[in-house]
Amino acid sequence: MNPKKMNRRDFLRVAAGTGAAFAAGSQLPFALAQDAPTATPLPLPEGAAGKLTVIHRTEYFEEAQNLFRETVANFAAANGAELDISTTNPESFGDFLGKMSAAVAAGNPPDFAYTSNVSIAQMHLLDLLEDVTDVVEEAISRYGNIMQGTNAPKVGQFDGVWKAVPFIANTTGYFMRGDKLAEIGVAPTDLETYDQRRDAALAMSDPDNEFWGWGLTPNQSGDGYGFLMSLINSFGGHFTDETGQIVQFNSPETLAAVEWLAETYDMEGMYAPMLPPGILSWTDISNNEAYLADAIGYTHNAFSVYMHRQNVTITQSFQISYCCARH
């Protein structure tokens, strides 16, 4: 392959065909170093002829981020391609979508983006993505069907055309300290609702000894957004009606969820003893650090938070990450 003529399609095809960059990525050793996760979004790099330009999402722990980065670097080196690789924050509150729109409009977008499913439909509606059906089909022919339960076609396929390549599926869960539950005499089966979990978190809290039961933040972050949407949906709130055409977010159900939040995070209210200091300004890494430091009893996170203690998984949900490209 001529590196000067290597384009997005070449990159996606070769990567899917070899499996070196994607399908086998989880089998690579963790002998990694170099770059720590980028905490804030950076300007998107400009694509250029003769150069492979890649952006990838920031991860919540360094090993996963460096694993992807090293794999792409090895791929570029093996194919004699100049590489420009950097990170971005693709969360719903970030500016990834705006930057990508501007880059496509200017005619110099990155060749390849590894992101979550947050913006796939929006990027499709804005005509930022190209057809990668052949890449997905080739990957399926080599490695088998996409993992069931991830809703990959629903999120990444439009009118039968794949606009994103399903890459990684991971699950999240609610974790609560089993030893603390035992101390207050609460069984995991009694924690089905947010009210029940909140009451248990308050009962297990011991702020005088720097232990707080509650470890969910409403602050602007991936974890915060996921928590808020889960809570609003639990109360029956939703963005639109069944047609998807009429906004129904401002509803009695959504208002009830907001009132519940105000009651929960009132720093002078009855639930204040379960709230760790600074929880209203936590970022995505804060609950991980607090949980692993034995400072909180309940949180929602990926399973990377699991360490040596006995934890109880209350519920699980799946999300899938995608690779996208645009000429």
Q: Is residue 291 domain-shared with residue 236, that is, in the same domain? A: yes
Residue 109 has pLDDT above 90, yes or no: no
Better-scored residue on pLDDT, 210 or 28: 210
309 confidence band (pLDDT: 50, 70, 90)? very low
Domain enclosing residue 199, as ranges: 172-318
Residue 90 shares a structural domain with residue 229: no
Is 305 part of a structural domain of the chain? yes
13: nearest Cα among 112, 124, 128, 87:
112
From 126, 154, 170, give the residue that closes a domain: 170
Residue 285: both structure tokens together: 């890494």
Based on the fold, state whether residues 177 and 121 are members of the same structural domain: no
Q: Does residue 327 lie in a domain region?
A: no
Same domain, 203 and 251: yes
Quick check: is 326 in a domain? Answer: no
For the stretch 175-233, pLDDT in tens is 889 999 999 999 988 999 999 999 999 999 999 999 999 999 999 888 888 899 999 99
Decide if pLDDT at 308 tops 50: no
The string of pLDDT tens digits covering residues 51-105 is: 888 888 777 667 778 888 899 999 889 988 899 888 876 565 666 777 788 888 8
Please report whether residue 263 resides in a domain.
yes
Residue ending a domain, among 154, 170, 186, is 170
* CATH value at residue 36: 3.40.190
- pLDDT tens-digit map of 286-307: 998 899 889 999 998 877 676 4
| Cβ atoms within 10 Å, residue 104 | 19
The token pair at 98 is: 């705006």
Total domains, the chain: 2
Answer whether 59's CB lies under 8 Å from 32's CB.
Answer: no
Q: What count of Cα atoms within 13 Å lies in the side-chain half-sphere of residue 135?
A: 28
CA nearest to 169, candidates 5, 303, 305, 21: 303
Give the predicted TM-score (pTM) of the model: 0.65
Average pLDDT, the chain: 77
State the burial class of residue 179 (Cβ atoms within 10 Å of its Cβ: 0-12, 13-18, 19+): exposed
Q: Report whether 53 contacts 112 (CB < 8 A).
A: yes
Looking at the fold, whether 62 and 137 belong to one and the same domain comes out as: yes
What CATH number does the domain containing 244 carry? 3.40.190.10
Which is nearest to 324 in space by CA: 99, 48, 119?
119
Q: Are 218 and 261 in contact (CB under 8 A)?
A: yes
Q: 151: pLDDT confidence band, cut at 50, 70 and 90?
A: confident
Residues 152, 63 share a domain: yes
What does the H/E/C string look like for 256-284? HHHHHHHHHCCCCCCCHHHCCCCHHHCCC
- Give me the sign of the Cα torsion angle 8, 14, 19, 25: negative
